[in-house]
Structures are given as C-alpha cells and as structure tokens.
Amino acid sequence: MKAYPKVSAVAIALAGIISLPALAADRINLDAPTIFAANAAQSVISNDAFVEGASFVAANGDEIVRIQQTYQGLPVFGESFAATKNSLGFMTAFTGTAISGIDKDIASVEPSVKANTAVSTLASEWQHEIHRIHSPQKQLVVWLDAKDVAHLAWYVSYTIYGSNPTRPMGFVDAKSGKLLDSWDGLNHAEATGPGGNGKTGRYEFGPGKRYGSFEVRQNGSTCTLDSPNVETLDMRNRTSGGSVHSFTCPENTERQVNGAFSAMNDAHAFGLVTFDMYKEWYGIRPITQKLRLRVHYDSEYENAFWDGRQMTFGDGKNTFYPLVSLDVVAHEVSHGVTSQNSNLVYRNQSGGMNEAFSDVSAAAALYYLEGDFNWKIGDRIKKGSGAMRYMDNPPLDGKSIGHARDFTNGMNVHYSSGVFNKAFYLLSNKEGWDIRKAFDAYIKANQVYWTANSTFDQGGAGVYKAAEALGYCVNDVVDAFDVVGVTTGARTGSGCGGGDELPVAGFNTSVDGLKVAFNNTSQFADSYSWTFGDGNEASSMSPVHTYGAEGTYSVSLSAKNSLGEDTKSLNVTVVEKCDDGGNGGGGDANAWSETKSYKVGDIVTYNGSTYEATWWSTGARPDIYTNVWKKVQGLVVFADCPPVNDAPVANFSSVVNDLTITLTDSSTDDKGVVSRTWSVNGSVLSSADKVVNHTVASAGDYSVVLTVKDAEGLSSSKSVTVKVGSTGGCAPAWDAGKIYNTGDQISHNGKKYEAKWWTQGQEPGTTGQWGVWKDLGACN
C-alpha cells in the first residue's frame, strides 16, 4: 500500500530540521556543490518528471541534454536544466535550476477554464476583436510567477495582421480565469534570376554567378518558389492570403519594387542558405516545419517579423529597400530556432538575448556563404549610409547598449541585444576563434542551457558551459563577457591547452551496484590516467567502470599537462544489489523508501550515497534530515532484501439516520491496524470500535476524523465532512465528466446526493442502496 510521507513528531522535535513550507515552489540551484542540489535533480529524473529536449555531443563523447521539467505530465514553462548523459544512459553533472514543491500550489491539473475562454481573456486585455485574430495557440502548462508560486495556466497567443502587426502572448489562470501575465511576442525584424538592390547593386543567382542557383519545384515549364525545406509566398501587398510564387522556368525576374531587382529571389535563396547552414553545421532543421517566407507584405511596410509560424518581409519605403537580405532573412528564421529551443521570452534581458541570437545567426549565415562578415546588421538594405545595428560597437546606432550596466527594465529588446552582440564579436576575434566557433557555443547554449526567462548572467553562464563541454577555451568566454559586464564562470583554463597553470586533479562518483560512474572535475589538464584498484585502467575523461566483485577499491586519477601532473585518490565500496524475489523492491530493496519505517542503525542508499539511521523516522529524506540520518563512506547494499513495513491507509464510510451517524472503519495495512481514534468536530469519541454510532444535537456539517496505527507505530488519518439533516437548497448539478471525492454533494433529477467514495461517470439514482451515491432526499 502507499502512504503519504510522514516523520514522527518525536523525530521532528529532536531533528529540528524543517519548518512548515510557504505556498511557493522551491527553486534549487544545481550549480551549488551540495548533496541537496544533486538530489533535487535526481528526484526529477527518478520520478520521470521530465522530457528530454535538444542535445549535443561534448568533446569527451558524453551527451549534454536539456531536461524539461514536467508536473503531472504538463510542461513547467521555462523551467529546465542540463544533464550529462554517459554511454550507459546515466545522467550526472546537472547544471542550472530545478523546481520542486509544485504540489504545494497545484493539487489537480484539471482546468476549470476552457482554452478558448483563455484566448478571449487575452484578446479582451489587448482590446482585439475575436474575428480579427489569426492562428490562436493554446497549451496547458504549469507557470511560476515572480514569487515562484505555481499556477495551472493556459499559455495562449495569437497574431493580428495589418499595418501594425502584433502577437499578444500570455498566461491565463486555468482555475480562476484571471490573466496572469502578457506581452507582445512578435519578433520584428534550382532556378536563376536577379537579386540585390540599389545599394548592393544587381547580382545574379545561377551557375558561374555571384551566388549559385536556388532550389525550386518544377512542373513542366512552370516553376514555383517551393522546395522540400523552403517555400516563398507573394503577398501582393496584402496582409493576409498570399500564394507560392510561380514563373516560367528557369529564370524568375519578378519583380522590381522599391529599388530591389527581385525580392522574392533574394528571400527564397537566402532562406535556403540559412536552412543549409543549420543542416550542414549542426545537423538540425532551424524549425521543425517547412520555412515559409512571405514577401511583399502590405504597402510600404518597413519591417520584417516572425509570428511563431512564418517569416514576413515588407518592401520598405524611405528608410529601407525590401527587407530580404541574407542577414535579415537569417535573423527572422533564427527567431524560430529560439522559439523551438530555449523559447526566450521577448522582453527584459531574455528578449535582448533573443534578438542577439538572431543577429549572431545572421553573422554566421554570411560567414557560411561568403567567408567574411563586416559586423553590420541590415547595412545591405538600409538606404543611404550606415546600418541597423553594429555588433562590434552597439552604441554607434545611437540607441543600443554595449554593457549590462546600461540595461533598464522595459528597454527595447533590439537595443539591449547589444550586450550579447558585442560579446559575440569579442569572442569571435579571440585567438583560435572565429565566427563559426563562437556560434557553436551560442547555439548549444540556446539548445540546452538557456531557459525562457534567462538573465544576461544566466545566458553568459550558458555560453560558458557550452564552450566547456565542446572543449573550447572557457577563459576566452569569461574575458569576452567580462568586457560587457556579464558574469559567466571561473577562469579554470578548461580547453585552453594548459597555458601556465599546473593541473589540479579531482573527481566524484555515482555508484549503482557494482557499476561506478566517475565524474572528472579536474582543471587545467590535457590528459587523464585512471586506475580502478582491480587491475583495470582507463584514459577517458569520465569513465564508467563495472567491478567483478564486491569490495572496497582504491581509485586514483592522474591529471596531466605540459607543466606537470596531479593525482587524486578515493576509496569506493561496491556491493551487488539484492533480489527481493519480485515483492515490489525491484531488486533494490535497500534504497530509501518514503513510506518505510526506519529505526536506529538501519542502512539505506539514496541517489548514490549511503546513510545510517540515527533515530526512528518515516518519510525523512536522508539528504535533508541530517539529524535523523548520517552519511557513511562507500555504498552498502543488503545481500538479502529486508522486509518493508508500509504505513496504514486510513479510510471509513458514514451513514446518517436522522441525527445519528454510523461510522465504519475500512482502513488497510500490510500487517494490520492495531488501534484507532474517532473524533467529531475536534472532540475524541470514547469508543475506538471499528463501527461507531454517534448522535449529534442538531442538523449541520460535522468534521469526522479517523486516525489509525499499525504495530510499529506508523499512523494515518482521514477527515470527512458529514452532513446531518437538511441543510437546505440543491447542490451543483451532476456532471458525468467530473471527478467526485468522498463527501462531495450534487443534485440530479430533483434529488440531492452525496458521494461515498471517489467516482466519475456513475449516474446518481442508478447505483442502488450499496452504490457510490447516497440519497439525501428531494431538493429544490
């Protein structure tokens, strides 16, 4: 049987280790070197409260993977952390932030508010008429507010097209219907033929031309700007509709607009270039669906945007030529990359990072196609001199910032992007670096380490961690971001070729039976040498070793570079797991259980560590309750699985006859209930019998509590409100799709009923005298 975690009053009094929790989830820094932090992440993994996101292979061959947290199957919006997964599937080396304690705020994930109602709530806040909205998106999530209080919420958005397009996004409480938060999430910003504009000059796409031919779909003599990965629509200066452009093969010459020779050719060809860059360099699609590019949007529209589904480009007017240069196309496409990975919220510092990633993607795309970049964004479409943004000197545009100290809340995300743009420029120009290498670190950070509401410092730390995993010099990352006022990590020399630092050896272990995963924490080392104490050796960075027999082994790691060598040794104890014969222990009965009763001297394992009980307890997690458990060296596993005592589960039913309540105990326990206590409205009844008759003075609601204990002192309680006599009026109507619990009252076909136990879909009045529904008489 199962029981909720408990600790005895004596254990709590003596341990004095925890106070009653506030109504807020707990945010745990996994980068802190504590057992509690490591166990918080392991708890997420062991409870399957996650889904794996994007991943990449580190320099040592391990897989670095994003762990998206979930709660009762729903995503926890913006909350993920990174883990290292070795060749055996072990997850270790967690980094980032984990969330626990959501159950303190959310008991049920059944929404009371419908998804469409949530969309209407958002539209009402933004004063948009329902008939004008396009592409409404709705997702049920768990969302944490600024105080880390968890809410069951609808994550909703939609798009309004027109001369001033917008994409409201927000969270609506799925219980109360209240709008919790909202913001504008609109991200601005083989055939042959001509391209270019009055500033770049006319150029040609085709064999032997400045740029190669671009891929199209051909049907007879008709070609369309369509391919397996990219399609380009001609909006014909409208804000809706549009169709894939067609022309007579093989040359598309349509059409000159605002000084550009063929905006559709540019958009389509550069969309293909962007797709190819992501595919060739990283083996990924920039977005999961086909790239849809909409050209000639509205009349004289001087902008471009990503609306969560597609990229849209205006023809410009006085300030810009049509906004279809490679940097602008790659910029908009890369908003899709961000939305499908870190999903950086488009405001505050995360919004500046969102814009910066699109800018660095634009730099990468030009470097991919042309092998060079001038650090100017939008200079090829801007009429006259200058550019939209200057990555090497962001303040040159008169609005952007180049240092984190200049950021202010509410700042335009295009201007705050200068911080990460400048860092990218500095990193790309470090010795041994280039645009491709710096982009490696940025995209891996976006895929795995950044989260929806990352700050500049958290984002910089993500780039640092990505560089470290890739084997790149982390000192260069620290130095580049230090110039723009962003904290990233320590100058450990990792990936920097040793330099002038002596190596420092270090490691920790994760033990599972006879199998041990070694996590290398050495610094300034170029090579490693392991001895496992059983005659076996290894030279990989973080090996996994399985011992042939139980015992304690002396493990040594030597870390070396050109200047010297350092050695670290630890004793590791391994014992084979027990086999409980299929009685529920899963072959690991010595692992700590939240429902088991432990006495002084009991030995358990929890998340790779071993603990000995110093006091009686139940539900006291070993890594938290340090006055109940003490940590001991090595791993000890029982040869024979010890018997497990589970706490009882209290349960009872009630029948009302006039003013008399008949209470019947139906509690269960693996070894039998030995005592019980009944109380009504706080007063303990004199009888402790299994069946008790209690007469009350008058009609009303009475709180009945049953507490039961087993032979080893474990207890459980259940409380039910019992209604005696007529309390007037009808209850809410019965709903076949709703879940009802013990004591819930409803009305159906002119009668009032009370649920005797949990039920769903059983119609009142059809289940008979012994059914789930108790007939309380007529109501009106």
Residue 648: its pLDDT value, please?
87
CA 195 to chain centre: 42
Q: Is 261 helix (H, G, I), strand (E, B) or coil?
A: coil
Q: Average pLDDT, stretch 249-274?
A: 82
Q: Does domain 728-780 have CATH number 1.20.120.50?
A: no
Cα 609 from Cα 593, distance rounded (Å): 14
pLDDT of residue 427: 98
- Owner of token pair 């005895």: 8
* Alpha helices, DSSP H, located in 484-577: none
Q: Decide whether 507-574 matches 648-721 in CATH topology.
A: yes
- Of residues 583 and 140, more confidence is placed in 140
Helix axes 348-370 and 263-282, enclosed angle (nearest 10): 90
Instruction: Label residue 435 exposed, middle or buried (CB < 10 Å: 0-12, 13-18, 19+).
Output: buried
Closest CA to 427 of 493, 499, 475: 475
What are the tens digits of pLDDT across the range 416-430?
999 999 999 999 999
* Tens of pLDDT, residues 381-401: 888 888 999 999 999 999 999
Mean pLDDT of the 444-471 span: 96
Q: What are the φ and ψ backbone dihedral angles of 417, each rounded to 5 degrees?
A: -65, -20
pLDDT at site 81: 92
For residues 624 and 18, is the Cβ–Cβ distance under 8 A? yes
What residue type is 287 in one-letter code? Answer: I
pLDDT (0 to 100) of residue 518:
86
Nearest Cα to 301, choosing from 200, 167, 165?
A: 165
Q: Which residue type, as a one-letter code, is found at position 369? A: L
Residue 639, classified by CB atoms within 10 Å of its CB into exposed (0-12), middle (13-18) or buried (19+), is exposed
344-492: which CATH number, 1.10.390.10, 1.10.10.60, 1.20.1440.230, 1.20.120.530? 1.10.390.10
b/e burial code for range 570-602 (CB count within 10 A of at least 16 → b): bebbbbebbebeeeebeebbbbbbebbbbeeeb
Q: Please, which pLDDT band fits residue 4 given cuts at 50, 70 and 90?
A: very low
Q: Which CATH superfamily is domain 648-721 in?
A: Immunoglobulins (2.60.40.10)
Q: Provide the strand spans (E) within 167-257.
A: 168-173, 179-184, 193-197, 201-205, 217-219, 222-224, 230-234, 243-244, 246-248
Beta bridge partners of 51: 68
DSSP readout, 745-777? EEEETTEEEEESS-BSSPPTTSS-TTSSEEEEE
Please write the tens of the pLDDT for every residue from 129-159: 999 999 999 999 999 998 899 999 999 999 9
Which residues are CB-contacts of 244 (< 8 A; sequence separation ≥ 6)?
224, 225, 226, 231, 232, 233, 234
Instruction: Determine the pLDDT at residue 715.
Output: 87
Q: Is the dihedral of CA 314, 368, 361, 141 positive or negative?
A: positive
248, exposed or middle or buried, with CB in 10 Å at 0-12, 13-18, 19+?
exposed
pLDDT (tens digit, 9 = 90+) per residue, 734-758? 888 888 887 888 888 778 888 887 7
pLDDT band for position 13 (cuts 50, 70, 90): very low
What does the domain layout of the chain look like in residue ranges?
A: 31-100, 119-184, 187-340, 344-492, 507-574, 648-721, 728-780
pLDDT at 45: 74
**What are phi and psi for residue 451, nearest 5 degrees?**
-125, 175
Strand 515-520 to 507-512 pairing: antiparallel
* Res. 317: pLDDT tops 70: yes
Mean residue pLDDT of the chain comes to 84
Is the domain 187-340 a CATH 3.40.50.150 member? no
**Burial of 439 (C-beta count, 10 Å sphere; 0-12/13-18/19+):** buried
- Specify the pLDDT at position 110: 94
Percentages of the chain per state (helix, strand, coil), in multiples of 5: 20, 35, 45
Q: Quote the pLDDT of residue 209.
A: 67
Per-residue pLDDT reduced to its tens digit, 189-210: 454 556 667 767 776 766 676 7
Residue pLDDT, tens place only, 473-487: 999 999 999 999 999
Q: What CA–CA distance (Å, rounded) separates 677 from 684?
A: 7
Please state the separation of Cα 137 from the chain's center in Å: 19
CATH number 3.10.450.40 is the correct assignment for the domain at 119-184: yes
Which of 3-17, 155-169, 224-238, 535-549 is predicted least confidently? 3-17
Residue 22, pLDDT > 60, answer no
The residue whose two tokens read 């009305």 is: 747
Dist CA 572 CA 511 (whole Å)? 9
Give the residue numbers annotated as catalytic, written as ranges: 332, 414
CATH architecture, range 507-574:
Sandwich (2.60)
